[in-house]
Amino acid sequence: MDSLLVERQGAVLALTINRPRARNALDSATVDALADAVARAAADDDVRVVTLTGAGDRAFAAGADITEIAALGPEAARRFAERGQSVFRALETLGKPSIAAINGYALGGGCELAMACTIRIAAEHAELGQPEIDLGLLPGFGGTQRLTRLVGRGRALELMLTGARIGAAEAERIGLVNRVVPRDALATETRALAERLASKPALAMRYILQAVHDGADLPLPAALRLEAALFGVCAGTDDMREGTRAFLEKRTPQFTGR
Catalytic residues, which ones? 112, 132
Distance (Å, rounded) from C-alpha 185 to C-alpha 181?
Answer: 6
C-alpha–C-alpha distance, residues 42 and 24, integer Å: 24
Spatial distance between the Cα atoms of 96 and 116, rounded to a whole number of angstroms: 12
Please tell me the distance from the alpha carbon of residue 128 to that of residue 67, in angstroms, as a whole number.
Answer: 21
Contact 177, 119 (CB under 8 A): no
User: Which residues are 137's β-sheet partners?
Assistant: none
Distance CA 121, CA 187 (A): 10
CA 231 to chain centre: 25
